[in-house]
Amino acid sequence: MAAAASVLALLLLAAAAAREADGYVAYNTSAGTVAGLLNVHLVPHSHDDVGWLKTVDQYFVGSNNSIQGACVMNTLDSVVDALARDPGRKFVVAEQAFFQRWWVEKSPSIQAIVHDLVDSGQLEFINGGWCMHDEAATHYIDMIDQTTLGHRVIKQQFNKTPRAGWQIDPFGHSAVQSYLLGAELGFDSVHFARIDYQDRAMRKQDKGLEVIWRGSRTFGSSSQIFTNAFPVHYSPPNGFGFEVLDDISPVQDDLLLFDYNVEQRVNDFVSAAIAQANVTRTNHIMWTMGDDFNYQYAESWFRNMDRLIHYVNKDGRVHALYSTPSIYTDAKHASNQSWPLKQDDYFPYADSTNAYWTGYFTSRPTFKRYVRMLSGYYLAARQIEFMVGGLFTSSLEDAMGIAQHHDAVSGTAKQHTTDDYSKRLALGASQVEKSVNIALDCLISSKGTCRSPAVKFSQCQLLNISYCPSTEEQISGGKSLVIVAYNPLGWEHSDYIRVPVNDIHLVVKNSDGSLVDSQLVEIDTVTDNLRKLYVKAYLGINTDKPPKYWLVFQASVPPMGWNTYFVSKSTGTGSNKMGYVSSISSSNKDTVEVGPGPLKMTFSSASGQLTRIFNSISGVDLPIQQSFLWYGSSTGDVIDSQASGAYIFRPDGATPTAVSRSVPLKVIRGPLVDEVHQQFSSWISQVTRLYKEKDHAEVEYTIGPIPVNDGIGKEVITRLTANMVTNGTFYTDSNGRDFLKRVRNYREDWDLQVTQPVAGNYYPVNLGMYVADGKYELSVLVDRSVGASSIQDGQIEIMLHRRILHDDGRGVGEPLDEVVCVDNKCDGLTARGTYYVNVNKLGHGAHWRRTTGQEVYSPFLLGFAHEDERSWKSYSTGKGSMMDAKYTLPDNVAIITLQNIDDGTVLLRLAHLFQAAEDPKNSVMAKVELKKMFGKRTIKKLTETNLSANQKKSEMRKLNWRVVGDTESGPAPIVGGPVDGQAFVVELGPMEIRTFSLKF
């Protein structure tokens, strides 16, 4: 060390003499990696949240700085100027929502400079999505869509394809992220900061922070990806941040000025580099040179990094260089090192003993539902857009892309920011809805053209609270209420339509004039009250006269097609008799059995609680209970001040409080549906519906306003308890795709020290979860992202709502206390939603979970109009499909994208819905005949692409990695072969998603 110090001193004297001569030092920053030395890859970046403490546009333009001094416009302006000064400098950009806002404002001369910077590799796009999406509360289709949106504009503007995933801030990492939003995009690597604190400590000891991640048990090594978990965070090592207004330690290399510190700064750099090298493999380490909303004066960073690189390299003990995740990954790959294997996911995430980030799985449940509902709607609207032509759904893509951000759908932004997310979605959805109303008229026209004037269709986004002006309107003047149901699924879908009406004398007919059985169910008081409050809150409309009944009937709609139903006044005779009016049932027996079909549920007359599920077809007979409970939100204690909050779930004890032991019960019966109404408390009610043709129960809950006048925040769960021995094991989905095995109080990668026996066993659920024993599978599907667990054998518990009075100290700076205000009066938010319950024999539940889950995600799109039925039929095709008659996709395949692109092509994605070995009949190769799927349209050209459609599938390159002790065995994954350009038959193996660019 003494010799090195002498060399450094001589170099410094020489540098001082050079500066004294002309006042200028040319810093050498252009060097690449050097063999035989520790290479420190400096990756300049700014982590720019697409909304968090401020809204996305406030962050972009730099307004509302009393909350946070942040302006992404300044960052991008400043970075481009700084990069142009020195060709050795580099910077990485992730969020396209910001970059595209900036890009469209730039002059041709600035755009030309940026093109040069991108082409030279100084400016690199990483991740490349519209945002850095969340990985717990997002649906895989939304993750794909927002990534594709960003990748498409990068490809159009720069002809570049991002190579690296950069998920540095999401709060845990999903299996789907690794293999689908990683390897299947063509990424070579993924990089992030947040993993469990126990996991990180173990991995630092074993030099296992960097791994080969195989997130898919179905695909194994064929979809693996190099994964880099940072040693601490996504900021630089202590003392090496250089944001201009921070308390920084700049590199001062002018001997004519005081505080000259080059030797000290070089020594600090070498020490920090060696310390990090001790927790990773190979002679390459990464320093993430940036933090939240940094580089607003980029020269402050680059000036100091220039000097560090220059003097550290002259010192020679380690080697520093400007780098990017792609350069870093290539260097790691070239080392021919063997890497540890990681499987499944990185959930749940905790950053300290009592800080499990599992609360955000449920936070802001109504916003989560809004995002999920619009996701399915967006998919259906784009299909209709494809069939009639145009690009009218683009008004929703920016808002939907932003909503997937890891502080948006996660529920972890400030309230005003969440309101902004909702407003953007509402404005975009409103524009799409207007266009869909016009497009529906074009779609069903018997002449194949749009009529003028068009039929005035309307849609009802608040049907769940019985608000639908079109159906509530009196049917008169010889007209009928016309309901056009569009089915976005690839198979025929039969489901029940429920619309609010005011008339009891109604009859329903289908498109060929046949009478359709219908049932009238009186609308309950809870729904009436919700409607009155929330229609006023959302729309500013007073609704003093609520509708009286739900009109219920079964609709059957062909795949990717429509069917028309006519609701008219009943004459009361012959085939024009009105529908069945439901009756309220009473019983003197100890139990009440409900269900008009083979599925039956039994409730206790004394307690009003569920006691049994029975299916006469499958032979399932399972004792089961269901109840609502709440965990008190911890505010911290004398040992640890950590509170429960928007991010963190910390209950104030392991045992939740039961809302009620005895529940008033009301049973409504009819030929199509039986309903069980339960009032658990003044703020929790539930309606369980059993339909004649369904083998599962639909459970609609209404929770709120959650009372907090006792000063206690509450986290509300529904719990199903069955007589099952499940051995601590349960299964939850990953972003709506793979089901992963979970074992209570256990982690496969390390010996878990249990500190939070409830919160530490919660996992994100987007599709559903199930438990199984040697006889049965008990499954629950959900309509939005939630947190869920199985805390005791035979139990499923799902957190449905949270209202918390303290902040959890992770930056958002306000409690999760959502309120709704009308006429200056505010009360807590009420959440309404639905979950779906089924019991199957062991090994037979997968088909229901997959197909019904897809139907929950993609319900009918309903259009309403008032027209003369005879006139309507003269110019409309009552029933039709894009597909050939009698053709349908197999049960194991879903259409997840059908979208017109602005270059005249059409983007198609098909997804196999089953994992390998999940179901004996459906975990097999599936085939889709595109000629039959597209009916009368002729495919002129088909090109298979990667997942985000920014490169041909045939041109994707994959790096091969060595894995420590790799013993992968078993059959190779089943994947589809090339598509013949004449037959156009697409094969899909289990869990495979294939993406195509089509020209017609």
List the catalytic residues. Answer: 169
3-state secondary structure 257-282: CCCCCHHHHHHHHHHHHHHHHCCCCC
Single-letter amino acid, residue 482: V
**Distance (Å, whole) CA 120 – CA 160:** 12
What's 455's DSSP letter? Answer: P
**Distance (Å, whole) CA 981 – CA 997:** 13
Contact 733, 175 (CB under 8 A): no
DSSP percent split of the chain into helix, strand, coil, nearest 5: 25, 30, 45
Spell out the residues 6+ positions from residue 593 whose beta carbon is closer than 8 angstroms to its own: 600, 601, 602
What's 467's DSSP letter? Answer: B
Cα 81 to its chain centre, rounded Å, is: 36
Cis peptide before 348, with omega less than 30 degrees from 0? yes
**Distance (Å, whole) CA 905 – CA 967:** 43
Backbone angles phi, psi at 515, to 5 degrees: -70, 135
**Distance (Å, whole) CA 700 – CA 496:** 15
Using CA atoms, how far residue 919 sits from 490, 585, 891, 892, 915, in Å, is 20, 40, 12, 10, 8
What phi-psi label fits residue 399: left (phi over 0), alpha (psi between -120 and 50 degrees) or beta? alpha
Strands 591-594 and 673-681: unpaired
Structure tokens at 106: 């730039």
Sign for the pseudo-dihedral over CA of 929, 930, 931, 935: positive
Q: HSE on the CB side for 668, CA within 13 Å? A: 21
Radius of gyration, CA atoms only, the chain: 30
Using CA atoms, how far residue 247 sits from 233, 238, 243, 250, 562, in Å, is 19, 12, 8, 9, 63
Contact 746, 662 (CB under 8 A): no
**Distance (Å, whole) CA 252 – CA 240:** 13
User: Is 503 exposed, middle or buried (CB count within 10 Å of its CB: 0-12, 13-18, 19+)?
Assistant: buried
CB atoms within 10 A of CB 954: 10
